[in-house]
Amino acid sequence: MSKVTFITEDGNEVVAQDATGNLMEIARENDVEGILGACGGCCSCGTCHVRVHPDWLGKTGRATEAEQDLFDIEEGTDERSRLSCQVEMSDSLDGIVVEVAPF
Ligand code: FES
């Protein structure tokens, strides 16, 4: 039973249970405000930007080179930034907490 908690920009928590797929897909299925996923998960739009809770960074890892290329041209990203379409849910991420971030 994989659980994901999204914290939206206004501080609301959306908890997704039995989550499968990548975090962008899970956010969209659960109507998480602020996650658009405009490119469908091609790592090219940045509308699925989240910040991983510090406790979980060790498990998700940091942004890949492709994600970083996108972050380099935008403001408001930091070392916890990930594109949620690039984070695939797995047993090891059960309970993960991410914050929805503006892009
Ligand atoms: S959905 Fe476009 S970069 Fe993630």
b vs e for 50-69, b when ≥16 Cβ sit within 10 Å of the residue's Cβ? bbbbeebeeebeebeeebee
* Closest Cα to atom 3 of ligand 1: 43
| pLDDT by 10s per residue, the chain, length 103 | 799 999 999 999 999 999 999 999 999 999 999 999 999 999 999 999 999 999 999 999 999 999 999 999 888 899 999 999 999 999 999 999 999 997 6
The values of phi and psi at residue 26, to 5°, are -65, -40
For the whole model, what pTM was predicted? 0.95
The CB of 14 under 6 Å from ligand 1? The reply is no
Which one of 85, 100, 103 would you pick to mutate in the ligand 1 pocket, going by the greatest count of ligand atoms within 8 A of its CB?
85
* 59 contacts: CB under 8 Å, gap ≥ 6: 92, 93, 96
Instruction: State which H helix or E strand residue 44 sits in.
Output: none
- Identify the CA nearest to 96 among candidates 6, 20, 32: 6
Q: Which domains does the chain have, with CATH numbers?
A: 4-100 (3.10.20.30)
Q: How remote is the CA of residue 1 from the centroid of ligand 1, in Å? A: 25
